[in-house]
Amino acid sequence: MRIEADLKLDFSDVLFRPKRSTLKSRKEVDLNREYTFKYSKHSYQGIPIMAANMDGVGTLKMAESLSQKGLFTCLVKSYTLADFKTFKGTYDPRLIAVSTGTSDKDLDNLQEILKAHPEFHTICIDVANGYSEHFGDYVARVRKLYPDHILIAGNVVTADMTQELVLRGADIVKVGIGPGSVCTTRIQTGVGYPQLSAIIECADAAHGLGAHIIADGGCTCPGDVAKAFGAGADFVMLGGMLAGHDEGEGQIVTKHEFTGDLDPQSHQMMFEPYQYVEFYGMSSDTAMKKHKGEMADYRSSEGRTVKIPYRGPVLATVKDILGGIRSTCTYVGAENLKSLSKCTTFIRVARQFNDVFA
């Protein structure tokens, strides 16, 4: 047994130190980025925030809305060719990744979709634990099949495995084990890595090889998204922050909740309607039952099922997130998202904000 005694940090352990700035307004801040990749011939242009490939988030409807603002969507792994055929909306295929797991069936499904839709040029190979040899082999196999596609692979949280996945053919490594809003991996297994440190260390490893990273999971507010970029993430992936919207296509349920007051006339309890949507982790019982029919005997759930308030159209939330990041940039003197990490000094804090009226 060994103990690493270096302190590892989470979003909630730091704040940005404000700096003198010549920027007059957050309007001047440019959040667009352009990337070229280590292997793929395709380039990327957009605001590098991604919808996670989760039920209720990574839908074609989400891609349709987000792509209007230049944001990216990793589609759910369960989509088949039929889902693309029946979708009636419009989207920008350059801002979409087709996601896949690592079984032979998953690979057949991916090949079928990409054959019918050559306009998609990003593939997201997503597993909970990116440390298995089988996963590295699979990444290499997909790279061989699709030499020109942009390949995303994850999840990992350490520099060594980031390098390994890049050397196996990943253009972009997805970083995060256990930080997610509906993730219970840390509780079930005791495994994880504080997300801010994981981003800093994996970004450094990937950038050294000419590759990129996605900070995946753990963002609870626009400030966290800004911190992920400040720490060196090239993209930031959001699940919970984009859940609960129309585009997730979840069922909106109305419940009547006790307001805490009695009607002054009748003295009856008063109730108010409250709308919510169910949101769940992709390793939860709910997801397993939905996609596999049942939970396999040898595994336990590593995800939660929660009810979250219904939040209407996603673009209002996106506006709020982008406004927050633009404001971060003005506080630290970054005229664009590209220079945010250069302008970042984090200070360690014992308290994030005043929650007396929260």
Q: Give the catalytic positions in this structure.
A: 183, 185
Write the interaction track for ligand 5GP spanning residues 241-280; mark x where CB under 6 A is met and - where it is not: x---------------------------------------
Range 105-164, binding ligand 5GP (CB under 6 A) = 128, 155
CB of 79 to ligand 5GP, least distance (A): 16
Return d(Cα 222, Cα 337) in angstroms, integer.
Answer: 14
Return d(Cα 197, Cα 231) in angstroms, integer.
Answer: 8
CB of 349 to ligand 5GP, least distance (A): 21
CA 91 to chain centre: 19
Judged by beta carbon, residue 245 or residue 330, the one nearer ligand 5GP is: 245
59 touches ligand 5GP (CB under 6 A): no
Judged by beta carbon, residue 230 or residue 303, the one nearer ligand 5GP is: 303
Judged by beta carbon, residue 150 or residue 182, the one nearer ligand 5GP is: 182
Write the interaction track for ligand 5GP spanning residues 273-302; mark x where CB under 6 A is met and - where it is not: --------xxxx-----------------x
Judged by beta carbon, residue 64 or residue 216, the one nearer ligand 5GP is: 216
Range 164-183, binding ligand 5GP (CB under 6 A) = 176, 178, 180-183
CB of 53 to ligand 5GP, least distance (A): 7
Q: Give Cβ neighbours of residue 109 (< 8 Å, ≥ 6 apart).
A: 80, 81, 100
CB of 74 to ligand 5GP, least distance (A): 8
CB of 17 to ligand 5GP, least distance (A): 25
Pick the piece of the chain touching ligand 5GP (CB under 6 A) from 65-73, 163-171, 214-222, 246-254: 214-222
Judged by beta carbon, residue 229 or residue 343, the one nearer ligand 5GP is: 229
Where does this chain bind ligand 5GP (CB under 6 A)? 52, 54, 128, 155, 176, 178, 180-183, 185, 216-219, 237-241, 281-284, 302-303
